[in-house]
Amino acid sequence: MDMTNDIVWLTIALASITVVITKAKRKTAKLDPKCIRMPPPAVKGLSIIRILHTLLTKGLQQMIHDQYKKLGSVFTVRFFRMKATFLIGPEVSAHFYQGTDYEISNGVGLEFTVPMLGKEVGYGVDSATRNEQFRVFYDVLKPSKLRSHYGSILQEVEEYFEKWGHQGIVDLKQELNQLLMLISGRCLLGKQVREKMLDEFFTLFQELTDKFFPYVPTPATRRRDIARAKLSEMLTEIVRSRKEYSHVENDVLQNFIDFKYSDGRSTTESEVIGLMITLILAGKHTSTITSIWTGAHLLASARILKSVLVEQKILISKYGDHLDYNAFLEMDTLHNCIKETLRIHPPVAIFRRKVHKNFIVQTKDGIEYEIHSGHTLVSPVIFNNNLPHIYKDPDVYDPDRFGPGREEDRVGGKFAYTSFSGGRHACKGESFAYLQIKVIWSYLLRNFELKLESPFPDPDWTKLVAEPKGRVMVSYKKRLLATTEVVHA
């Protein structure tokens, strides 16, 4: 009882301090001669306790929804010294995605990646070096390079599913995790890792992620450091042997070895390893989770499944049973299913940035606010992807919303769809991700009759990337989709 009272009094005291600090800060803002526009409306004082309560009991989306309805598309949550300004919708998001690193930086909270990726890459180096390193990601994954990966991905997919046999029941999560590991091994890490040490590589890789307190010395962070050192050893050996014997491979690892900065400097071994770990970290898990959600949605809707099968049949009649890269480029229906999956389940649910230079944002109603340096900016993708003024019936899984005549994301404006982020820090692996997931689902649907045996999964919000909760059991029966076959809805 005493303790409960203490907590109540402490809460009231903290809230009162927040009110006083907030008022004092607002006064300063008004007196500042450089402040030419009003700051955004703020959640302050006792309201903080209310929104924290909503956050803890009803979740982030409900919390944002309540404040959006009350305060509009730009609002600030002030909590002691922290000022987080939320930007809701494409109309107010351009600067967030397009601002330069000097105006608005992307490193908020990403320092936690340094022990995983290494001090030589990403948020361990200055922004100029980092931008050059991101240039190599773009170079190796750009759409024009995809044709060269297509054959390797298809071969991995065919070999993997040949082992399934005639019929059975599997956990889709486990299967697709394994398959995406093989694809990453083959296309990114290269033949040596793929053939000799893939399981060991990914077992160690698993130890790198999901550490909530990355700098606190715990058994988990110690395991991470040991795993990081072993991964580094494995890759260093490969890099050295390629250099020593002038052995050149056609994989992304080779591109990192051959990369030169704009001043002509070559990459060091540690940089090559850091770049590779970054790429696997950015691409493997996101693609795995998206391919599982895509499968769950396809198998849960007979109408949508039918439209994808019809598209596959049309392509078979045009290109024959072995669909090549040109056929893959025409899989628009399947593409839109993946895109719609990502609208509902974006692997990165919110983006954050830090403001370094004041800027003005205008809402769609023409109201202007000045956002000051020092604020943390929040773009909640998971909320922005569901705005009813952009997406009709946003709660419904409806891939046709991206099809001809609707194109709701394009009509909505440049930053209406941000599952791959946008502007300066947009995902460099978007095309590669679509390629992998399309090859997998095109092959599965053409070669097996599939049925979702478990109930449609809920998202597991306890994970860094919200994956389907529990197992996703799917039964399969071998078939060869023929152009003459009638597809039932």
Give the nearer residue to ligand HEM in terms of CB position, either 104 or 474. 104
User: Which residue, 348 or 367, is less far from ligand HEM as judged by CB?
Assistant: 348
Minimum CB separation from ligand HEM for residue 287, in Å?
Answer: 5
In whole angstroms, how close is the CB of 84 to ligand HEM at the nearest point?
16
Nearest partner of 356 among 30, 14, 101, judged by Cα: 101
Point out the residue whose Cβ comes nearest to ligand HEM. Answer: 429
| Least Cβ distance, residue 468 to ligand HEM (angstroms) | 14
Tokens in use for 421?
């982020």
User: Closest distance between ligand HEM and the C-beta of residue 271, in Å?
Assistant: 14
**Minimum CB distance to ligand HEM, residue 255 (Å):** 12
- Least distance to ligand HEM from the beta carbon of 105, Å? 11
Residues at the binding site are: 427
Residues ≥6 apart with Cβ < 8 Å to 218: none
Within the chain, what is the greatest distance between any pair of CA atoms? 77
* Residue 272 φ/ψ, nearest 5 degrees: -60, -45
Q: Please, which residue, 287 or 312, has the CB nearer to ligand HEM?
A: 287
Contact 472, 186 (CB under 8 A): no
CB of 472 to ligand HEM, least distance (A): 17
Nearer to ligand HEM, 42 or 342 (CB): 342
Q: Give whichever of 346 and 457 is closer to ligand HEM, judged by the CB atom.
A: 346
What distance in Å separates the CA atoms of residue 104 and residue 109, rounded to the nearest whole number? 14
Task: Choose between 21 and 108: whose C-beta lies nearer to ligand HEM.
Answer: 108
Could you tell me the smallest distance in angstroms from the CB atom of residue 180 to ligand HEM?
9
Q: Residue 18 or 385: which CB sits closer to ligand HEM?
A: 385
- Contact between 172 and 295 under an 8 Å Cβ cutoff? The reply is yes
Nearest distance in Å: CB 151, ligand HEM: 17
Q: Extract the annotated binding site for heme.
A: 427
* Between 273 and 427, CB nearer to ligand HEM: 427
209 vs 202: CA distance, rounded Å: 11
Given the complex with ligand HEM, which of 406 and 425 has the nearer CB atom?
A: 425
- Closer Cβ to ligand HEM, 76 or 287, answer by number: 287
From the CB of 282, what's the least distance to ligand HEM, in Å? 4
- Report the chain's terminal Cα–Cα distance, integer Å: 61
Binding residues (CB under 6 A) for ligand HEM: these are 106, 134, 137, 141, 279, 282-283, 286-287, 290, 342, 347-348, 351, 419-421, 425, 427-429, 432-433
| Residues 6+ away with beta carbon under 8 Å from 195 | none
At closest approach, how far in Å is the CB of 66 from ligand HEM?
25
